Amino acid sequence: MSRFLCRLEEVPDPGSRGFRVNIDDQETGVFIIHQGGSVSAFRNSCPHTGVNLEWVPDQFLDSENCHIQCSLHGALFEVQTGLCIRGPCAGQSLQGLKLENRDGELWLCV
């Protein structure tokens, strides 16, 4: 099953955007990262505490737009893989989600 999220052009490069979607009959926070022409999708949940990652709505990247950053403790995650490279959950990863770009439309595959 696929769910339409938005058009690629609606997310700046570099940039991010959050969504609430129904996955397995449960409302779940997800987000996408657009960086260097590629797009990644993850569940919006820190592996350390389970809190949402964004500082403000749709702001998941650090100030340099290089890494995903947790709003609670500042942990940094790789944009492509979701691997935590700094912080209390170093070595753990965000849960990646499959995303398809269909002629400029971003679809979450669940």
pTM: 0.94
Query: What distances in angstroms separate CA 11 from CA 15, 29, 47, 71, one per listed residue?
Result: 6, 17, 25, 20
The answer to whether residue 24 scores a pLDDT higher than 90 is no
2-109 CATH fold: Rieske Iron-sulfur Protein (2.102.10)
Q: Which residues contact 106 (CB under 8 A, 6 or more apart)?
A: 4, 5, 6, 7, 8, 11, 32, 39, 41, 99, 100
For the chain, domain boundaries: 2-109
Q: What is the pLDDT of residue 30?
A: 98
